[in-house]
Every structure is written in C-alpha cells, then in structure tokens.
Structure 1
Amino acid sequence: MKLTNAPILRSNIMINKANLLAGFLFLGVSTSSLAEELRVIVSYDNDVVVSSASAKSTTSAVSLGKTSDRVCLNTIDGAREICVPRPSGAAQKNIRVLSNSVSSASEPKPVQFQAFNVDADSFEQVKETLESTGWYATVEKDIIVHTNGYTNDPWLTSQYYLDDPETSTRDSKGAHNFFSVLSVEQIEQQEPIGVGIIDSGFYDIGEEMVFHGGATFANSGPVERGNDYLLDVGESCTSHGLGVAGVVGATANNGIAYTGAGGNVKVYAAVALDCGTGGLYAAAESIRWFAGESFIEDGISDFQGDVKVLNLSLGAGAYEGEGLRCPSYMQSAIDFARSKGIAIVVSAGNDGNDVGMHTPSNCDGVIVAGANGREGYRSSFSNHGEEVDISAGGEMVAALSPDITREVGYDGTSYSAPFVTSALAHAYRLKPDMTPSQAELILKLSAREFTDPTCEYLGCGTGILDVKRMLEVAATLDSEDSNRISWALNDESECDQQWYVDSFGKKSKMCSMLKVTFLNNPSVEGVKYRMYSSDWKNPDAPEELVIETTENTVLFSKDDIDVGLYDYSVVLCTDEACSSESIRFELETKDAFITDQPAVCQD
C-alpha cells in the first residue's frame, strides 16, 4: 500500500484505550502534553457529507464509523491526532448560515460557518491538516479580543468620568477621556509615576489600594506624628484620604472595586489632618517633606520616593482682618516644591463662593480644580472665580471606603482634584522633565468648552479636563517641529520647490520668507504667543517684542529676522496679563541661516 502524507481518519466512538495507544504507536503519532486548545472557524461552499470518497487523495486510507459525530485525523506533520466535528453541511449542528435565503442568481450564496475547539501544537498544524481534506472553503483561527481592553474591575460601570465625552452612551459630557489611556495593555506598559496625597484617613484595605510609603504630620488624631500613617479597617475616622487616593491609584484589573484614573502610579500618603480637620501648617510640612526637606528630628524618616504631583483636597476660608491671602508658610512650601519640579493640585472648595476666599486654592503656583457634573455643568457647590484653572468631575464620584465590598459615591471638589492629579501623572509619563508651569499650561490649552453658560461670568477655569487632548498638546511642547525658525520653502518637497521657482523665479517672495512655528498643533486654542528678540552679544540689553499673535505659525521677510545677530524666544500666555507664570521657549534657529536656504533659491 502506498503511503501518503494525507490525514488518516478514524472514528472517535468506543475506542478501547489499549488499542488507541497501540494505534498511536503504530502510526507514530505523539501524545505530547504541549498541545494548546485552539478555537477554529471553518466555512463550507456547499453541503458536505464526509464519506470514504470525500478526501482529496486519501480514499484508500479513510475509515469512518457510521454513528460518530466527530472524526479524528493524523496531522500532516505526523506529530499528533486532532479530532473535529464531522462535516455534514448546513444540517450539521452548530453550523450557522449567514445568508438566510437566495432569491436570485445575482445574490451571494449562503456561507456556512462552523466553530469548534481543537487540541494541537499550533494553528498552522491544524490549518494545513484541515485544508488537505478538501472539506472546507476556509480554515481560520478565532481571534481573542477584549472590550476595548477595559479592566475587569466590577464597578467600572459607575466611573462615568472615564468615558470619552464624544462617544459616551451615558450622556457623560462632563467626562474626561481617561479610557484613552486605561486599557489593560496600556496600564501594563506604563512607567510608574509617583503621586503624593496630602489628606487624612488612609486605611490599609489590601491589594485594591497600595500605598508605597507615607508619614503623619498632624499633631493629633488616631495616628501619632511619625512614620505610621495607615489605619486598620474598623478604626474610627474619616476615610476621605482613602477615597481621594483611590480615584488616582485604585489597583486596576484585579477584579475588585474600581480602576484608578492615574493608571500605573505609586501613591504616597501624608496625614495632615486629624480625621478630616486640622491645621494648614501640617499640610505645608507635608509638601516640604515630599519635596525633600528633612523632619528626622521629629521622628519622621526622610521621604524616599519620587513624586511628580501632589494632591491637596482640603482647604478653609482665608479671610483675615488684613484681607484675603494665602498664608506665607503655605506659599513658601508651594514655592519650594515647585522649585523641585513638583506640580501641586488643590481643590477649589465647596462653599459655592469666590475661590479667592479659600486657601490654599488662593495661593500662587497651584493648579485649582473646580467641579462639574456628568452633563458638563458647573456643580452648584463648587467655588468659582479667576483662580480656578480647570474643571473636573465632582458629583457621584466612585470612591473607595474601608468596606471594600460596598460601592459608594461622593460629591465635592475633593474628588475633582484627583482627576487632575491623575491626568498629570499621565502627562509626566510622556514628558518626565515637564515643569509645573508647563503642566498647568497643557491642562488649560487642552480643556474642552463648558456646556454651562454661567461659567462665562462666574469663572470655572479654562474648561473641562480632557486627558486625550492634554497628551496631544503635551507632545507638541518640545517636538522638533515646534518652536523653530526655518525657511518657508524648506517644508516643501524638492519637486514642489523646483515648481515654485520655475513658476515665479528665484527672486520671488517665498524664496526670501522665513517661517516661525510656535506650537505645531493648530487645534490648540486659547493661547497667545509673544515672540521676543535679544542681542546675544549684549545680554544686559533689554529684549524687544517682535510680534504678539494668536496664530501658531507666522511668516517673516528675511530682512525682519536675523538669526546671526539675535536669539529669539516665545512666551506662551493663557491670560491677558501674560503673567510671570507664562511659559517661555527658546526658538531653534539652526535651519534659518542663509546657507540653509533651499538650493533652488540660491544663486
């Protein structure tokens, strides 16, 4: 008998184990334990009835049982046996006909698909073997997919603020687009970013909220001032700090409670209040500790982590006889932290008043978060005014509590601030050397417009937080195509350059034009650019304003720009005063010298 490499078929019914083993040994089929279960999808052109005459070239080698609903085949490579449902056309159980009827010859023929599991060494092994039978039109592998890669945390459906506001099916116009950075795959690949939460009531609840270190600065309360900072479940105190920390850093994809908006973060805790109440000075000390100041004499070990953002969801009325002000000890601590590159996010307060009457949100250099609801309207309790920088979700925010089995939601700007903190964690992951001023800038430039008309005169910040847009803006801050001066035609192809010169001549206007590009992102709105020149030979000479514009690209004649004699910079402003907090970039000029002029324009 002539042997071929075509599959050998046998019945899978009532096979004696000893005979089965002997058969495997005779046929040389391996019983390797390394097989994996594969989901295979096959299709048929026409009804198929398996018989001894149905295999392409193996009729003499086919042996089928009369009643079996499965058939087994030796694989082409001889490595194992695979068993599949007996193909029997559209009448076969589990075969789905995708076209219900055929009414004319011009309509597509019905396609019969069948899905089944196969134990094999690889899909290629299955595909080669099944295709060699001639029974199937196609043999394909089922593709494992995830629902947008979302985590498996059971209360994820309560976290409306993670939605894309443009596509949300739950009318979440006030959402923040965190899902754009929170797929399982993205979180697994993210570099960890350190975040400090200055608050009270941090509980040890296990894996759902992991703290990587902390200390207590409050002078009274259930935890004494020192290195301890966590409460055990059952101890009586507010769980405010736990709730705020969980918004940022609740463990994702562990099948418990919520997903933290910050992705892969290392959360550190500083207890500044005694169960929700305490002195502001302890909060200032906490800021200094995170920024590197030593409190070892107070029995508190030096901070060993690295934080990019601090969150303060706390505050008080700031009125004193001499007026409204931020306490100097708090402002000093903020300035110290900012000098170390740490951004500070604070809540606006829940009094429904002017935020200038609330501290530390009236301090300089902090990013102030107001609250909005699901629909994008300002929350009625949220403080408002010029000092508010941005708005984020503050109504029915899903938060952790010591009872991890209980789903809870809270209102307040205390829960708006950690969304902004979370957004900045993602931004620092993209731009680790970003300054606090740049962090504030990208939040403002990327914010979405309010749906609430009252924000136009009350002041709710520049808009609603949008993480996806924020990261797009962050990517443009120091890209090669931003903040540069170059010859206008250099961005065109050589073919287009030649066409221009052939059409208009070397003396044409475009050959002598320089293009200044500020942010290479036309979608960025609400920013004003001030371009300055300075004499690099005389650093003491005052700089001169060249142009102020809202356009992100400007054309100049080569007679108006001299990169050989002057340095150029641009200041990015988001307010009319173009304050000292505005961002300055040096303009790159290496492509703007006369020798860099397009060759077709040179004599």
Structure 2
Amino acid sequence: MMKHFTILASMLSLAGMLMPAQAQETVRLVFSPDKAVSKSENTPQRIGAAGCVTTPDGLTQWCVPTQNTKANSMSRAAPLFEVHALPSHGYDAGYIAHLFTQSGQFGVVEADVVTTTRPVDTMELAIGSDSTTQINDPYFASYQLNRYFAIPSKAGAGSGIIDLWNAVGMPAVLEVKDPIDLIFIDSEFETSKEVDYHSGRSLTTTALIKGGPFQKPNDDFSVRPEVDDVCDAHGLQVIATASAKVNNKFGGVGITNNVNRHALRALTCGTGFLSDSANALLFLAGKPFQDSNLVTPYAGKPGIINMSLGSKTNSCPVYMQNAVDEAIKAGFTIVVSAGNEGATTSSKSPANCRGVIVVGALDTDGTIASYSNTGKEVDVMAQGSWIPIPCEDKDDDALYCFSSGTSFSTPVVSGVLAVVKRETGVDDATLKLALMLSSEQVRDARCDVADTCGAGRLNASGVMGFARLAAAGGLNRIEHALGAKTECDQLWLLDHFGQKARLCNLYKVTFMNGVLLNNASYQLVSIPKEASWDTATPTVINTFTKGEVLLESLTPDTLQYGMQVCENGACGDVLMMNTGKATSESKPVACK
C-alpha cells in the first residue's frame, strides 16, 4: 500500500521568483495613524512638507498622501492602518519606518514584513483500498486512527479525536447541519474533491511577477493562472487537514465536515505581506481596511480562524496586534502556527501576538518535531509530521500526499475547536482555558522545561469535556463540603468527628475543575447579591495556589462569588462561581 513514494520538488526556489516586488529598491511601510507616539528628544528630526520626511542626507524626501497622515485620519470609516510603497533611497525599511514614527506626524509606522507559508517536506504515496472501520477513507484506518486520532494513552501523538467523535456523535461531524464557520487565511486554494468552499476572497497584494504591480483585493480567491504551474496547494492542504471529507473513499479524513469553509487568500505561492493577513482579520471583523470597498463583506458568523503562516519579527507589529484584537472582539478564535525554524516563537508573528492560540508540532512518536518552534508563546502541541493531505492536481490519480510542518498541526487544533465551539457555544476565552486545562503531557523530556511546549499535547475529548462543564457553569463552583456525601456518610462524619457547626458551614471551593494552571494562582472575590459585576468593585477574599480548597465563613445567600486567574502579579477578568449547591436551601440533609 505504501510502496510507491516520490519526494516532491522543494518550493523554496519560488521565493526568489515571487518575492514581494522590488524588495531592495522599494520598501512597504504600514502606517497606524491612530496610535500616537511621542517624538524622541534625542533623535534629530528632518521633517519636510506635510506628509513628508527628509532623508538623513538631506538630499530627498519620502512622502505619503497628506490625507493619510495622523492629523487627517480621524474619520470613523478610516482603516486602522494603511500601506504605502516608497523608494528606499538606499535605506533599510525598518530605519525609514523609524524616521516616520519619530516625526510625530504619522502615529506608529512599521516595516511591512514578508510572510511565508510552506511545508517542511512532502511526499506522495499510493492509495490503498483496505479499511477495517466504518470510515472508508483508506488512510484513516491504516494511519490516522493509530496516530493523532488515537486516544492520548494509546499513541505518543494521540490527541483523542476518536473520543471527541464519540462524545458528540458521528452525525455532528459528518452531516452539514447548523455548521460552524471555519476560516483559513493562507496561500493557494486549489480545487479538490476533498473540500467544498463555502466562500472566499483574495486579499493578497503580492506581485505576480517580480517587479510587477501589487495585486488588489477582490472576490476571486482562485489560483492565478500566472503562477498555477509553479505554486503548491498549501491552502487546500491546510483546509483538508481540518475538514477533508469523510467516507468519500479517498485519502484521509479531516476532523469535521460540519463546517462552512471560508478561504481567504492572503499570500501568493506561499509568499506575502503580514499586512495582508492583518487585513484579512479586519475583513472578518467587519472593519474597514485599505481597498476594502473592492471586496464583498464577510457574511458568515464568528468562528475559528486558522493562520498557518508566519513572519520574522522581534515583536508583534502594532497593525497586526490591532487586527487580532478586533477579530477576537468580534467573537472569533484565532489559531496560528508556531513556525518551522526549530527556534523560538518570540520572533515569529502572529505567534508572538497577544490573544492567539499558538500550536507547535509533534512527530508521529509524540516527541517535539525537529523543525517546530517552541517557547513561552506556545499554547499546545499536536502532530504536525506526515499528515495525510490531497496532492496538488491529483484528484484523479491513485496518489495522496503526506506533509510536515506546524502548518498542519495548527488545523488539527482548529478543527477540534470548531467541533467544540459548535457543540457548546463557548466563547474564545473558554476555548483557551479548555485547551490549557485538558492537555496531556508530551512524551519528550524537553517539554519538562518551562515555557517550551505550552500546556502540552492536545486532548480533543478533554477540551470538549471542559467546555461542556464551563457552559453548564460547573468549571468554577462553591458547594457544601458534605454535599457530595450520602446522608449516611454525612451522619457518620458528624458522629465521629463532631464539630457539627463547623462541618456544616464548610465549603468546597473548586477553581478550573480542580486544575492549577502553570505559574498561576486563583483569587476568590465577592460582591453583594444585588450588585452587578460590571459596576461593583469586588472584595478580595484570598489568593490560592491550589485547584480545590475548603473554606469557612462564606455566605452564598448574601454574596455573589467570582474568581480570577492571576499570573506574575496581574489578574484577569472575573469569572463567576457557581454557588447553586452552596445555598442554605441546598444544605446537606444531616445539617438541617
């Protein structure tokens, strides 16, 4: 079945052909005019006419249209940022951006960085015909079922996807009924019998030929004929990892088919600009962006966004962070790849942006893949090596491809979160907590070092379990300490230990279902029963470094209780505690 294989030609040579236009002669700068920056008194400024900055040698100027300067960008319909291509005059893009920022006329100005999205390696394999389960896709039974679909205890890279399917029932993942929106910001979206696209847009501005004009946003997300013969099918393959059709007797399977697949082409041939990916997020959030009038607005609902791409930056650019914030505020969850340099995620964007879920990659044996970036930004790990995907233009051949990279571990997580969100309706913050609280230990000693592998290995059914508990209000709860005991056990405890008054007024307080997050503490707070969490100032009761504690002197009949997750001295938003089993009405029988 797996005798025939051919290593595909590397796509790295395309970088030279399709590098964003005239990289050495022209620079692209991103202007975020709403972000005020104070001028440095230690930096000499050379400010020319309005909208211009003079070069350090004083021989020429860089100018942008005056309507795009900070002073003239207060319109509500103005984009959060704009991109301008300028002659370099021999200077580096970062230095030119610094001069614009320091002028004080333009807000924050940053270099538009190159974004890439390519697999580490890909190979073709002949498709076999044997399948020993109710799923008839050839590589499901022979490959996926024994690797990342397996339960965590049965395989080193097992992520419990089979248990997730069992938890929600197969119709919930096979039938398209009340589908959730699953959005992919990526490169080429080839056609394939493995996926049906619900909608798509082209937001890439990368030139189709070196030195050619930048593309404009439009509604046609198909592969451009100018590059069809030389590009790979990365976008298609990422979508297929999350949602390839099940039971079509072809290749492998995705995590779920109960989705609307939206394809946002933000790169061309695996190369693009980070600002285009940021514009894709603004498009989804319903916010104006440069040339947004050229595309039909997004008509779906907030769902899961997959970004298997990255740019080399020492920190998250302002324009990208603003776009991330807007998408999350609109109700989306953003899942991004950690990167394939075998280095740290701190220098990879959007992985180094706040609010995103960052996914690293495991090999098939469950150890860290050699290419995977790791670091404090990583949230979770999943198999990314040798994931079955459709080959480019091979729907009619008896071939299927296997590819490796964090590009493919990321849609595994995105697909799982899509199932969980559709079933439970929980928000972005709860999905993130569910991931962290349910993850399994990675079978690699390198992950024992703090800030390496995040919370650990994805446990899909665990994510569902925690999300369901959270949706039912059971993740954080206060209950009578004796409440879970039978009446017989309650009486026995009171007889043998005495102190009836104390035991009957003892409460069991559970934070995050009893799991203590890494490097975190939990703060218990309260407000009066009639008060609102939106306006009242909570009273801090105490801070704990355990997932469960026993407390006296709580008064659930007169107070509302909440909790905060605290890290490095800073505490997050208040999450309400469920006190339904802590009131006087629910007091243990033996205490009445």
Give TM-score scaled by structure 1 length: 0.67
Please say if 1:151 is aligned against 2:135. Answer: yes
Secondary structure at the counterpart of residue 490 of structure 1? coil
Partner of 1:587: 577
Deviation of the 1:551 alpha carbon: 2.8
The one-letter code sitting in structure 2 at the alignment partner of 1:195 is: L
How far is 1:371 from its partner?
1.0
Q: Give how far 1:298 is off.
A: 3.1
Partner secondary structure for residue 255 of structure 2: coil
Q: In the alignment, does 2:448 pair up with 1:456?
A: yes
- Taking the aligned partners of 1:178 and 1:193, their CA distance within structure 2 comes to 18
- The answer to whether the aligner puts 1:209 opposite 2:200 as a matched pair is no
| Residues 556/166 of structure 1: CA separation in 2 closer, same or farther (3 Å cut) | closer
Contact 1:372 1:379 in 2 (8 A): yes
Contact 1:203 1:230 in 2 (8 A): yes
Alignment-derived partner of residue 410 in structure 2: 417
Q: Which one of the candidate residues 500, 509, 514 is aligned to 2:507?
A: 514
CA distance in 2 between partners of 1:388 and 1:398 (Å): 24
Tell me the residue number matched to 2:221: 229
The alpha-carbon distance between structure 1 residues 583 and 149, as it changes in their structure 2 partners (threshold 3 A), is: farther
The answer to whether the 8 Å contact 1:212/1:267 transfers is yes
- The answer on whether the counterparts of 2:217 and 2:292 sit within 8 Å (CA) in structure 1 is no
2:64 corresponds to:
none
SS in 2 for 1:454: helix
Q: Distance in 2 between matches of 1:307 and 1:443?
A: 19
Q: Residues 210 and 537 from structure 1, CA distance in 2 versus in 1: closer, same or farther, beyond 3 angstroms?
A: closer
SS in 2 for 1:415: helix
Match of 2:183 in 1: 196
2:545 corresponds to: 549
Cα drift, residue 149 of structure 1: 5.4
Task: Tell me by how many angstroms 1:208 deviates.
Answer: 1.6
1:402-422, CA deviations, whole angstroms, 9 ceiling, x for partnerless residues? 212321111211111111111
Alpha-carbon contact 1:388-1:461 (below 8 Å) kept? yes
Find the residue that maps to 1:352 and give its secondary structure: coil
Tell me how far apart the structure 2 counterparts of residues 501 and 325 of structure 1 sit (CA, whole Å).
59
* Shift in CA distance, 215/389, structure 1 to aligned 2, threshold 3 Å: same
Change (3 A) 1:540 1:350: same
2:373 aligned with 1:383: yes
Deviations 1:168-221 (A, max 9, x none): 4xxx4113121223475553367522110000100122x321110010001246
The yes-or-no answer on 1:177 pairing with 2:160 is yes
Please tell me whether residue 474 in structure 1 is matched to residue 460 in structure 2. Answer: no
How has the CA–CA distance of structure 1 residues 367 and 426 changed in structure 2, closer, same or farther, with 3 Å as cutoff? Answer: same
8 Å CA contact 2:564, 2:574 repeated in 1 = yes
Q: State how many pairs are aligned.
A: 440
Using the TM superposition, give the Cα deviation of residue 588 of structure 1 relative to its aligned residue in structure 2, in angstroms. Answer: 2.8
Question: Residue 394 in 1 paired to residue 394 in 2?
Answer: no
For 1:161 and 1:306, the matched residues in 2 are separated by 32
Match of 2:173 among 180, 184, 187: 187
Pick closer, same or farther for the CA change 1:496–1:289 going to 2, 3 Å.
Answer: same
Q: Say which of 233, 245, 248 aligns to 1:251.
A: 245
Other structure's SS at 2:453 match: coil
List aligned pairs for 1:419-434, cutoff 5 A. Answer: 419-432=412-425, 434=426
User: For 1:415 and 1:422, how far apart are their aligned partners in 2?
Assistant: 11
Paired residue for 2:150?
164
| Alpha-carbon contact 2:187-2:268 (below 8 Å) kept | yes
Q: 1:578 to 1:438 in 2, by over 3 A?
A: farther
Conserved? CA contact 2:481–2:503, under 8 Å: yes
Deviation at 1:358, TM superposition (A): 1.0
1:317–1:359 CA contact under 8 A, matched in 2: yes
**Does structure 1 conserve the Cα–Cα contact (< 8 Å) formed by 2:436 and 2:517?**
no
Q: Structure 1 CA distance, aligned partners of 2:583 and 2:307? A: 49
Shift, 1:294, TM fit: 5.2
1:262 aligns with 2:233: no
Q: Measure how far apart 1:148 and its partner are.
A: 8.3
Change (3 A) 1:179 1:600: closer
- Paired residue for 1:326? 316
CA contact (8 A) 1:382 1:412 kept: yes
Confirm or deny: 8 A CA contact 1:249 1:266 kept in the other structure.
Answer: no
Q: How does 1:45-124 map to 2 (within 5 A)?
A: none
Aligned to 2:430: 438
Q: What is the rounded CA distance, in whole Å, between the counterparts of 1:596 and 1:193 in structure 2?
A: 38
Q: Contact 2:187–2:235 (CA<8 Å) still a contact in 1?
A: yes
Q: Does 1:310 align with 2:300?
A: no
Q: 1:270-317: CA deviations, max 9, x gaps?
A: 000111111111101111112223568532001111241101111111
Residue in 1 aligned with 2:568? Answer: 577
Q: 1:523 to 1:592 in 2, by over 3 A?
A: closer
Q: Give SS of 1:369's match.
A: strand
Change (3 A) 1:148 1:309: farther
> Residues 147, 155 of structure 1: CA spacing in aligned structure 2 closer, same or farther, 3 A cutoff?
closer
Rounded to whole Å, the distance in 2 between the matches of 1:493 and 1:508 is: 18
Q: Which runs of 5+ in 1 are unaligned?
A: 1-145, 319-323
Question: Judging changes above 3 Å, is the alpha-carbon distance between structure 1 residues 586 and 266 closer, same or farther for their aligned structure 2 residues?
Answer: same
CA distance in 1, matches of 2:366, 2:334: 24
Say yes or no: does 1:272 pair with 2:266: yes
8 Å contact kept, 2:516–2:545: no
**CA distance in 2 between partners of 1:311 and 1:162 (Å):** 19
Instruction: Tell me the equivalent position of 2:233.
Output: 239
CA distance in 1 between counterparts of 2:179 and 2:530 reads 44
Per-residue CA deviation, residues 335-390 of structure 1 (Å, 9 max, x unaligned), is 01111121101111111111111111100001111111011111111111111111
- Deviation of 1:537 (Å): 7.2
Output the CA distance in 2 between the equivalents of 1:294 and 1:178: 38
Contact 1:249 1:261 (8 Å CA) reproduced: yes
Structure number with greater Rg is 1
CA displacement, residues 84-127 of structure 1 (integer Å, 9 cap, x when unaligned): xxxxxxxxxxxxxxxxxxxxxxxxxxxxxxxxxxxxxxxxxxxx
Distance 1:564 1:291, change over 3 A: same
Corresponding residue for residue 80 of structure 1:
none
Deviations 1:38-87, CA, capped at 9 Å, x for gaps = xxxxxxxxxxxxxxxxxxxxxxxxxxxxxxxxxxxxxxxxxxxxxxxxxx
Matches within 5 A, 1:486-565: 486-498=479-491, 507-520=500-513, 526=518, 528-535=521-528, 541=537, 543-552=539-548, 554-557=549-552, 560-565=553-558
Q: Is residue 252–residue 388 contact of structure 2 (8 Å, CA) maintained in 1?
A: yes
**Which residue pairs with 1:218 in the alignment?**
204
Counterparts of 1:186 and 1:311 in 2: how far apart (Å)?
Answer: 21
Are positions 1:289 and 2:256 aligned together? no
1:428 deviates by 0.5
**Which amino acid is the alignment partner of residue 577 of structure 1?**
N
> Which residue number in structure 2 is paired with residue 347 of structure 1?
337
Say what the alpha-carbon RMSD is for the aligned residues.
Answer: 3.0
SS at match of 2:445: coil
Higher relative contact order (CA 8 A, sep 6+): 2
Q: Deviations over 1:451-471 (max 9, x none)?
A: 111223361222111212221
